[in-house]
Structure 1
């Protein structure tokens, strides 16, 4: 039996490799370090998300991948080729911007054809590819319209089709859904993931929206202050955050002093859905005593905030809470398996 070369197989799966990349703007004492020794890999046919607050470095990293900026130091490999000094038009990479940047004087199909024509393609091949892209984004019926005759969601789809038409190896998405309303945004999250699966193109999304990242991504890199704090699958990052920042930033989390729950680490985290609240109080009750300071009905669940004796506020969001009233004494129970030790 022929043995498979695992190292070669793993290397073939890696499309992008960022190694010890630093990016500074300015010089001397006024220099701003936007990226600080960042290393990560992005796999072929992966939906990868750079997630973090404004100013964390995610957009700078996206611009480095696109070729709009050059690293101060470090290595960027695409298909195992050094590309750090290659201009954007020499990379098999396209970008969908937040503004969409459609040409207002062109029809939908002309916008989608533009990139192909810039590459020297003409005739039936262009028409076939434009038709395929419009079917992919479900806009074939609107091919003759101009951008000002489209909704925001339709414009976003046109920008996506235009970027996909040349069949790039890597598609970069710079907060493309931020201008859409909530309902459209959620619908486009599903559509983007569908399109990524159907095309097999690697997508890299930049967003500050935690729900967006959790619902769409194969893997997420959580960033802050120019560094990658945690990289992994959405469920791993949500269930096992490594630091207080990640626990706070991804979803909701109760961050408690470690000593309060018997942990040797400085802090421990527990998600609101895991906090159990009992109306039983007094001696013999397992848990920590507190009082209800807020109750919010959310439909399928109820959100409740509880102040513990030391002033720590704990939030629970569950569908099985007992009837509670403001200022009522309660007991909070933290299941041991749901408590997570955190770095400071």
Structure 2
């Protein structure tokens, strides 16, 4: 029998595939359950943007046709919203697609990418797939007074050398929910060489209300080596359609577009994203639900004597001080899906997406029962 692993590019055999949150249908089929709640994949519990859903439905009669490969209308709307030009925007099948495009454009053998421990699992996968070296900076310690498990920018800067082509920074970070303040991040950007690109992954930025939280778009003119990525998968509730975007220097976006797959964003996704940009009421309700949910979950963990990582995303990570995988399995048996994060080197933690108030309550009740048993 042929050993196809012998044919792979360097580093591929050592990679572990990305593991998504368990689907409700799969769990209920396996265990014969019903009424399962899923708090695992950082989806919007209020559903999709109503305006986006209507717009996607309206174009379904035309899905025999290829979408506009240029994304002209959506890029035009995004340009209006951001004050940028359309040629400063690249569209992707989710922001993770844009991050992959950056890796494939700028990383290769002999080059490296820098990112923090406990950051998005796709950074090492994209880096290794491009043939480049992963340089992982130690995060701030668990007992750090202000930002436990957060990005240590000094440690990241120390790993940058003449072969560093990309630095990946998630703000807020997944799966920890930690974030970087404006002045600290700006100082970090100023200290980097111009030939080192920074991908500022802002997938959760619309949820954040902290006054010192930065908006990466404010710095695109000052830092031509900065690329900001955002998505419609989180607060806009369009995860199933897969649409995100990257913003930055027009020359950089032009280079990235050379490796972009044609028609990488489908027709319903383009229509839904364009319409969702106008759904201000839905975004307001989503933020309000998230703010209340973070408080509800944090209070519930405190009542159970469990430490959690302070979060500004739409999720919160809790330390169970025991095997998180075992608790995850017991929660599954009770119809509650959350996210184990042992693959992020957090074996005693679980990441919990903020749900509706009743879903948060059910999770906390089941967790208390599981821990007691």
Identify the structure with the greater strand proportion: 1
TM-score, normalised via structure 2 length: 0.28
Identify the structure with the greater helix proportion: 2
Which of structures 1 and 2 has the bigger CA Rg?
1
Higher relative contact order (CA 8 A, sep 6+): 2
